[in-house]
Amino acid sequence: MKTKARKSISSIALASLVLTMVTACSGNGNAGKSDASASPSPASGSSPASGSAQPVEKADPFGKIDPPIEVTAVRAAAPLKFENGETIENNGWTKLYENELGIKIKYQWISDQFEQKMNVTMVSGNLPDLMPLTGGQFKRLAESGQLADLTEALDKYGSDTVKEIYKKDGGLGLQSATYDGKLLALPWLGSYTDTAPLLWIRTDWLKKLNLPEPKSMDDVLKIADAFVNQDPDGNGKKDTYGLAANKDLLTDLFGLDGFFNSYHAYPKIWIKDASGNIAYGSIQPEMKTALAKLQELYKSGIIDREFAVNNTDKVGEAANAGKLGLTYSVHWLPLYLQAGKNQDPNMEWKPYRLQSIDDQPAQPRAIYAINTYYAVRKGMAHPEAIVKLMNAAMRIWPEDKYPVSEIQVNGDVEKWKYRFVHNQNPTQNLDAYKRVNEAIEKNDESVLDPNTGEPNVYKNVKAYLGGDMNGWGYNGVFGSEGSQSIYAQYEKENAYKISEFMGSSTPAMTEKGVTLDKLELDTYTKIIMGEASVDTFDEFVANWKKLGGDEVTKEVAASVNK
Amino acid sequence: MNLRKRLRELPLHVMLLPGVVILFVYSYIPMVGITIAFQKFDPIKGLFGSEWTGTDNFRYVIQMPDIVQVLWNTVFIASMKIAAGLIVPIIVALLLNELKNQLVKRGVQTLIYLPHFLSWVILGGILIDILSPSQGIVAQLFKAMGLDPIFFLGSNQWFPFVIVLSDIWKEFGFGTIVFLAAITGINPSLYEAAIMDGASHWRQTWHVTLPGMMPIIVLMATLSLGNVLNAGFDQIFNLYGPVVYESGDILDTLIYRMGLIDAQFGVATAIGLLKSVVSTILISVSYYMAYRIANYRIF
């Protein structure tokens, strides 16, 4: 029901490589550092959870709590580096918290098995004042009424920057943290642009077969056909695949989401139908058309006949071994394929926009992901503390008092990680792409934001341009023709199809999820393999509704429209 | 029982102690958790604070649309595994027993029980490659014989049999050890007597070896009946996909997916409890039958 990314360990490692470049500052007005990307807020049908009717009296977002307070907290022991005798309880950020905000954080525990430990803490009933929670943990604590209402605190104390960021996703992030009209946590926003599928093609094969780059969906299908039948690897054997697919069908890597999006079908996400009602993308008529096409492709051998038993890692092996030339995958595919590039230096992958089947542009689907929910224990005297900590994280502090080398980065010691609360501009990877390319054009590193992972990306892309193959993966993501360049175009055109629903499962999803998911995957796979006729789709839709889908739809609609 | 006899048995009881303690700690104390099956369990409220829902979880399981099919798959695959897992090792043990060359016998034994130590994660990957209808060895053999290759892991007709066969291949060597030990324990004078009576080689096997193995065979059969709802989670999990849900989705994989989507502790516990109850009944019945028919008792 929710889009579940099943990733192997290696893919997670790769994904986090790109995803964890947390911006320490998403340049805002009052800091005198202008943000190059004034990205338009996506149009939103929902009103943000904050911003109530009567304006509250504004308080100073960076004011000191007087007398100073000591709060308890817990945190994950991420791999942190320290220098000059600093520790997690005594560093630039703890000083800043105490001197500027009057908040001293005392950790009940710090664990590298955060989730298990937090679950135990939740059961023990000995909750700390401030908690970084996973979606599931947040939901459980919210439902059992253990969390403080932060609505007023955010309204009154939230800085402009923080409020701005919460508007960037159309208020969906805050909405996901709202229960019964109460805001119970501050979400750390992920980037929705990074969840969108792109079309990836091996351009060295294109060149070899003298094929033009794709301009339409027909071109894409022609290319896929040629990659199977015209021996692109030149070994005289018919051992290459056209379009990649794997047994879980809808995955970040080697999935079919992008293919469906080309047909204006949006499996697994919640969209608004023609009459403006919330509807489940997987049961819309556009799916049927796309499935019929996939059935055809399977029959003609363009999709691997054995996709139904191969997981993404198996497909990845085939891609790295040079057996695959066309796939729909998210932005970090080149990092995953670096191993293949090392084996075969001629291998060249390039991302393209999704082609559309008709004259309407194809929209890539996107999902708002939330990394962490920062919540406050009910009954804590100063719930505004969490808001202030977030303000501090998103502010650019004066250099003379808090030098970058103390609170952001010093060499390879990333000090922004010492913060208790993080947030990020959802467009950080796009910003990195823009600034890295500007820096390369001007040959001037000062363009880069030193508070982020940008210098590291710059180093790698620059190395690649200088002929070092080890930077190939980074170049494929952040380079001038990398995946982020296409995300940037989509962002500019506001062309994403963003799921209307976010947050954790509704009760019916929990109850019916297994059955409905099984039905869906089972039907799709059988249709593609030709074991069931395309018309089975209609039967599936009726069954889906009957077996609880209608109930789920009602709940989702209620949660979106609340 | 007089005191002296008790004292003489004391060391035996002391030796039993660690086993009893482990059983108590790991099997009896966790039984408190069975209460979860009758609750809408919430870890925060804990075992005694969660809402009691009576038999709701069981009803939910029974009402799941595909539960009948999943149960059928489980029982079907598990029964085949139990039957083949008993018969194949017995036959292999008898055959190995005929080998006079000790070196060959040991070599074969070692070879066939090695796969037991490989995990299904590894074997799953190997099996997918071997059975691949385009490049796999099996497909090449089919082609050489002029047959069309079969997509074993992608067809609901074949999937359960692939599961059973590959499981037997992995485990039969390990199962053989027990029966070989049983054969070794047969009194040689019985064979001598049989030879005196003019029993052929085959007759000796039939009248001496097999009856001598009977207690162990009955014991293994009795114990394995408890597994009628265990079709082997890790094997199937590594080999199945949506295309063979119809024939390969079993109770354990279903519970696993429930856990993936949203930990429904109550429901998972309910299914687990059902499995245990069914196993207990089956073991009790088969034990009783073994006593009545073969006059064999474990205790």
Calculate what percentage of chain B has a pLDDT beyond 70: 96
> Nearest C-alpha of chain B: how many angstroms from A492?
34
B241: contact with A, CB 8 A cutoff: yes
DSSP B87-149: HHHHHHHHHHHH---HHHHHHHHHHHHGGGGS-HHHHHHHHHHHH-TTT-HHHHHHHHTT---
Contact A505 B264 (CB under 8 A): no
| Under 8 Å between Cβ of A309 and B241 | yes
For range A255-280, the mean pLDDT? 95
Q: Which two tokens stand for residue B204?
A: 């000796």
pLDDT at B80: 95
Residue A10 has pLDDT above 60, yes or no: no
Q: Which two tokens stand for residue A431?
A: 């910003």
What amino acid is encoded at A302 in this protein?
I
Please name the member of B134, B254, B264 whose beta carbon is closest to the beta carbon of A305.
Answer: B134
For range A338-345, the mean pLDDT? 93
Q: How confident is the model at residue A24 (pLDDT cuts 50, 70, 90)?
A: very low
pLDDT at A47: 35
Residue A20 has pLDDT above 50, yes or no: no
> B interface mutation test: which of A116, A309, A525, A551 has the most B CBs within 10 A?
A309
Contact A505 B262 (CB under 8 A): yes
pLDDT at B288: 86
Please name the member of B44, B133, B242 whose beta carbon is closest to the beta carbon of A144.
Answer: B44
| Under 8 Å between Cβ of A333 and A327 | yes
Distance between CA atoms of residues B50 and B38, nearest Å: 10
For range A272-298, the mean pLDDT? 95
> Nearest C-alpha of chain A: how many angstroms from B32?
16
Residue A36 has pLDDT above 80, yes or no: no
Q: What is the pLDDT of residues A483-495, one digit of tens each?
A: 999 999 998 898 9
B289: contact with A, CB 8 A cutoff: no
Q: Which helix (H) or strand (E) holds A351?
A: strand A349-352
Interface of A with B (CB under 8 A): 1-2, 4, 119, 122-123, 125, 136, 140-141, 144, 146, 239, 247-249, 305-306, 308-311, 314, 504-505, 509-511, 513-515, 517-518, 521-522, 524-526, 529, 531, 547
CA nearest to A527 within chain B: B243
> Nearest C-alpha of chain A: how many angstroms from B46?
6
pLDDT at A261: 97
pLDDT at A537: 97
> Nearest C-alpha of chain A: how many angstroms from B65?
7
Q: How confident is the model at residue B7 (pLDDT cuts 50, 70, 90)?
A: confident
CA nearest to A526 within chain B: B243
Q: Which two tokens stand for residue B252?
A: 């354990």
B62: contact with A, CB 8 A cutoff: no
Residue A318 has pLDDT above 50, yes or no: yes
Please name the member of B42, B132, B151 whose beta carbon is closest to the beta carbon of A144.
Answer: B42
Distance between CA atoms of residues A520 and A549, nearest Å: 11
DSSP B29-73: GGGGGGGGGGEE--TTT-TTTSEE-TTHHHHHHHH-TTHHHHHHH
How deeply is B184 buried, as exposed, middle or buried, from its count of CB atoms within 10 A (0-12, 13-18, 19+)?
Answer: exposed
CA angle centred on A380, ends A377 and A383, rounded to 5°: 85
> A interface mutation test: which of B239, B261, B264 has the most A CBs within 10 A?
B261
Residue A39 has pLDDT above 60, yes or no: no
Which of A309-313, A375-379, A501-505 is most confident?
A375-379
Distance between CA atoms of residues B234 and B255, nearest Å: 13
Q: Which two tokens stand for residue B98?
A: 């005929």
| Under 8 Å between Cβ of A31 and A396 | yes
DSSP B252-291: HHHHHHHHHHS--HHHHHHHHHHHHHHHHHHHHHHHHHHH
What amino acid is encoded at A371 in this protein?
N
Distance between CA atoms of residues B71 and B83, nearest Å: 18
Distance between CA atoms of residues B58 and B63, nearest Å: 9
Q: What pairs with residue A352 in β-bridges?
A: A199
Contact B65 A526 (CB under 8 A): no
**What's the maximum distance between 2 C-alpha atoms anywhere in chain A?**
79
B259: contact with A, CB 8 A cutoff: no
Q: How confident is the model at residue A17 (pLDDT cuts 50, 70, 90)?
A: very low
Residue A320 has pLDDT above 90, yes or no: yes
> Nearest C-alpha of chain A: how many angstroms from B171?
23
What amino acid is encoded at A145 in this protein?
G
What amino acid is encoded at B174 in this protein?
F
Q: How many CB atoms are closer than 10 A to CB A412?
A: 8
Q: What is the pLDDT of residues B20-55, one digit of tens each?
A: 999 999 989 988 888 888 988 776 677 777 888 888
Q: What pairs with residue B155 in β-bridges?
A: none
B264: contact with A, CB 8 A cutoff: yes
pTM score, whole prediction: 0.76
Q: What is the pLDDT of residues B232-275, one digit of tens each?
A: 899 999 999 888 999 999 998 988 887 655 667 788 888 888 88
Chain B residues in contact with A529 (beta carbon < 8 A):
154, 243
Please name the member of B43, B134, B260 whose beta carbon is closest to the beta carbon of A119.
Answer: B43
| Under 8 Å between Cβ of A356 and A199 | no
Residue A1 has pLDDT above 70, yes or no: no
Chain B residues in contact with A138 (beta carbon < 8 A):
none
Please name the member of A146, A308, A510 whose beta carbon is closest to the beta carbon of B264.
Answer: A510
Q: What is the pLDDT of residues B56-104, one digit of tens each?
A: 888 888 888 888 999 999 999 999 999 999 999 999 999 998 888 889 9
Residue with tokens 């590894």: B122
DSSP-derived pairing of the beta strands A324-329 and A241-243: parallel
Q: What is the pLDDT of residues A144-157, one digit of tens each?
A: 889 999 999 999 99
Q: How confident is the model at residue A32 (pLDDT cuts 50, 70, 90)?
A: very low
* φ, ψ at B32 (rounded to 5°): -55, -35
CA angle centred on B175, ends B172 and B181, rounded to 5°: 135
> A interface mutation test: which of B235, B246, B250, B262 has the most A CBs within 10 A?
B262
- Tell me how many residue pairs between chain A and chain B have CB atoms under 8 A apart: 95
Chain A residues in contact with B153 (beta carbon < 8 A):
308-309
